[in-house]
């Protein structure tokens, strides 16, 4: 089932005082329960495409849809809550791990909603295999890999439908990068999807790769394996989600 679709997307902005369009007619579709790579040369517009999909940048053309519903039927803040962009440098706020995981509930977009319980957050930490890290742990004492996983959990805690990851593992060592990929895969359900920008060699967790170059996008499916096969139902997070709903 197609969860997210971008049709004929274009973006134009000023660069060195002149109009510049990294792309003007890009289309893609993301299926539920799958993780996709987005690659391409530097400057091809990968980060710009993710920002446009999250309504963080204006488009010069094209349309977006979530579960078949056009983007203009959503309030922009509701769209951004469902289509969540995680930037490359997701800075943690001063305080504890708990403070960071609950940070989205201090923002206007989540006003009036109940923040997640400690039980829910502890189960997220366990899923991320953050051994020795507790909710009371100081965020300033986390390693780079641990910070990246906490930032990813913070995004997931708001229960987005689409996760757009802008090279979240770019500054990490190989072991930490694999841990982030494994966590991203574990957070998928049959009703959610993920598109991530990557420059590293393929790690086997994506079902396919979109390549953006010279204003055009192409797609190559990967052979199906246990690590990238479509996730059905609630996947690895079923127990966590059931706990959050109680």
CB 196 within 8 A of CB 184: yes
CB 4 within 8 A of CB 55: no
Residue 245: its pLDDT value, please?
42
Residue 234: its pLDDT value, please?
72
Residue of 231, 187, 236, 217 lying closest to 37 (CA atoms): 217
Question: Which 3 state secondary structure label does DSSP give 62?
Answer: strand
Tokens at 222, concatenated: 């990967």
The ranges assigned to domains in the chain are: 2-245
CB 29 within 8 A of CB 193: no
CB 122 within 8 A of CB 132: no
| Per-residue pLDDT at 168 exceeds 60 | yes
Residue 236: its pLDDT value, please?
60
Dihedral angle, C-alpha 65, 67, 68, 74, nearest 10 °: -50
pLDDT band at 175 (very low <50, low <70, confident <90, very high): confident
User: Cα-atom radius of gyration of the chain, to the nearest Å?
Assistant: 18
**DSSP assignment, residue 96?**
B
* Cα–Cα distance, 32 to 73 (Å, whole number): 21
Name the strand (E) or helix (H) holding 9.
strand 2-15
* Cα–Cα distance, 67 to 36 (Å, whole number): 17
Residue 71: its pLDDT value, please?
97
pLDDT tens digits along 79-122: 999 999 998 877 899 999 999 999 999 887 777 788 899 999 99
User: 92 — alpha (psi -120 to 50), left (phi > 0) or beta?
Assistant: beta
| Per-residue pLDDT at 240 exceeds 90 | no
Q: Which residue has the tokens 């993920």?
A: 194
CB 40 within 8 A of CB 237: no
State residue 221 phi and psi, 5-degree precision: -75, 145
Question: Which 3 state secondary structure label does DSSP give 38?
Answer: strand
CB 106 within 8 A of CB 222: no
pLDDT tens digits along 204-224: 999 999 999 999 999 999 999
* Cα–Cα distance, 148 to 217 (Å, whole number): 28
Say if strands 193-197 and 162-166 run parallel, antiparallel, or are unpaired. Answer: parallel
User: What CATH number was assigned to the domain covering residues 2-245?
Assistant: 3.40.50.300
């Amino acid at each position: 089932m197609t969860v997210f679709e971008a049709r004929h997307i274009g973006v134009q902005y000023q660069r060195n005082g002149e109009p510049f369009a990294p792309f003007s007619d890009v289309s893609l579709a993301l299926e539920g329960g799958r993780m996709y790579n987005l690659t391409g040369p530097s400057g091809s517009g990968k980060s710009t495409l993710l920002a446009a999909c999250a309504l963080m940048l204006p488009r010069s053309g094209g349309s977006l849809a979530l579960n078949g519903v056009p983007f203009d039927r959503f309030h922009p803040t509701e769209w951004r809550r469902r289509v969540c962009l995680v930037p490359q440098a997701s800075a943690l706020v001063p305080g504890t791990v708990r403070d960071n995981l609950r940070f989205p509930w201090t923002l206007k977009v989540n006003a009036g909603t109940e923040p997640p319980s400690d039980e829910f957050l502890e189960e997220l930490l366990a899923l991320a295999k953050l051994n020795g890290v507790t909710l009371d742990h100081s965020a300033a004492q986390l390693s780079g890999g641990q910070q990246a996983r906490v930032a990813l959990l913070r995004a997931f805690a708001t229960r987005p439908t689409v996760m757009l990851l802008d090279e979240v593992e770019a500054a990490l060592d190989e072991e930490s990068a694999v841990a982030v990929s494994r966590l991203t895969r574990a957070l998928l359900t049959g009703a959610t999807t993920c598109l991530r920008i990557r420059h590293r060699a393929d790690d086997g967790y994506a079902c396919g790769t979109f390549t953006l170059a010279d204003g055009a996008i192409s797609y190559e499916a990967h052979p199906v394996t246990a690590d990238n096969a479509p996730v059905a139902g609630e996947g690895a997070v079923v127990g966590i989600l059931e706990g959050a709903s109680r």
